[in-house]
Amino acid sequence: MRTLLIILASLIVGAGGALYADRQPDIHWQIDRVFDRFSLPSSDVDLESGGVEAATLANYSLEPCFFRDPSHADEPPGWMQRPALNAAASERTSDRPFPDIEAFPGLVKIEQVLSAGGTQRHHCAATRISEHWFLTANHCVRMRGPTSQVIDMIIIAPAHDVMQPDTVIVPIEGAVCHSAWYSDTGKFDDDLALVYVEDTAPLSEVEIARTDLGDMPLPIGAGDTAYFAGWGKNGQNRFLQGGPLVVRNVGETFIMVDNGGRFAPCVGDSGGPLYVPTSNGPQVVGVLSSVTVDACPPFDRAFYMRVKSFDVWMRRAMSICEQGGRFVCLRPEGEI
């Protein structure tokens, strides 16, 4: 009888420990990354380039979609720091009050540099989900508009005004996109990407966000309140803006929000997180994929990729594409 009680107690403690670990994002990622790394045989690594074999990436719907030009490290380009503001820019103010930046853990801005001088850019947002990885939308990496190439990609540390001269800017070393996303049709299914930052020391104050887990998803449904934030058109691609949203529909891979014409996400907020309040603080359940009206105002519906449905894909991407402390999911030689 005593032996039976000891066994039962051990099982209860073990189950409790497993439940605790599964509810702690940092532990969850680390455990999965340990096992995932053992699942990547050395035969799947290209010995000549040090990168992962294309067939292995394809098996897991992983598509390398950005890698940084090494010459930028040798001679940092001008866009790695903000210039001094002129008089007109200094006097510019936000149209709305700033939200509490502490209410959006992990939130950062992404800028995609599209011209050699750095004047042409795309604006997005992202969420820090591990030490080196940031979650964003696929189209924030692969959609280039009229330009033929992406010159560089950078992450901007969160601030109410990200155009100030002391703004913290770090380079993105590489990115991996979900290969099932179709940019030519505008189809928003699988609109997810992960970007990799090698030197995260300047981002030490950016918290790693808690995300919805695929095996233990948060209950979320129509009528629930969620929150968004970003530096898009609402804030002139400069000022942090955000607020509450009403969830209208929840699907397997998406969450639709609609504030009935009131303040909502706009162009430039893409890739940003959708937060829901929990007893442990804000938790990320979605990644902004699209808005139905670009004018802002008027405001209309917005669609978010549902994070929990891509939990396995994200873990797999991080465990495969980061080896030995560096980004290894490089493009095939012919695409460089």
Query: For residue 32, what pLDDT band results from cuts at 50, 70 and 90?
Result: very low
| Nearest-angstrom CA–CA distance, 283 and 275 | 5
Inside any domain, residue 242: yes
pLDDT at 335 over 90: no
Mean pLDDT of 93-98: 93
| Nearest-angstrom CA–CA distance, 98 and 240 | 6
| Nearest-angstrom CA–CA distance, 109 and 232 | 9
Inside any domain, residue 147: yes
pLDDT at 145 over 80: no
pLDDT at 185 over 90: no
pLDDT at 6 over 80: no
| Total number of domains in the chain | 1
Judge whether 107 and 273 are in contact, CB under 8 Å: yes
Long-range CB contact pairs, 144-150, < 8 A, 24+: 144/112, 144/114, 145/114, 147/114, 147/115, 147/120, 149/114, 150/66, 150/112, 150/113, 150/114
**Tokens found for residue 123:** 């604006």
Length of the chain: 336
pLDDT at 127 over 70: yes
| Nearest-angstrom CA–CA distance, 199 and 255 | 33
pLDDT at 162 over 90: yes
| Nearest-angstrom CA–CA distance, 156 and 171 | 9
Judge whether 278 and 227 are in contact, CB under 8 Å: no
- pTM as predicted: 0.85
Classify burial at 306, counting beta carbons within 10 Å of its beta carbon; exposed 0-12, middle 13-18, buried 19 or more. buried
What local confidence, expressed as pLDDT, does residue 216 receive?
74
If one counts every other C-beta atom within 10 angstroms of the C-beta of residue 243, the result is: 16
| Nearest-angstrom CA–CA distance, 16 and 11 | 8
83: domain CATH number is 2.40.10.120
Domain residues for the domain of 105 are: 50-330
Query: For residue 223, what pLDDT band results from cuts at 50, 70 and 90?
Result: very high
Inside any domain, residue 24: no
Inside any domain, residue 11: no
**Tokens found for residue 322:** 């980061």
Inside any domain, residue 233: yes
What local confidence, expressed as pLDDT, does residue 189 receive?
79
Inside any domain, residue 89: yes
Q: Over the stretch 306-319, which tens digit does the pLDDT of each residue have? A: 999 999 999 999 99
Inside any domain, residue 335: no
Q: Over the stretch 186-212, which tens digit does the pLDDT of each residue have? A: 566 799 999 999 999 999 999 999 999
Query: For residue 270, what pLDDT band results from cuts at 50, 70 and 90?
Result: very high
What local confidence, expressed as pLDDT, does residue 60 receive?
93
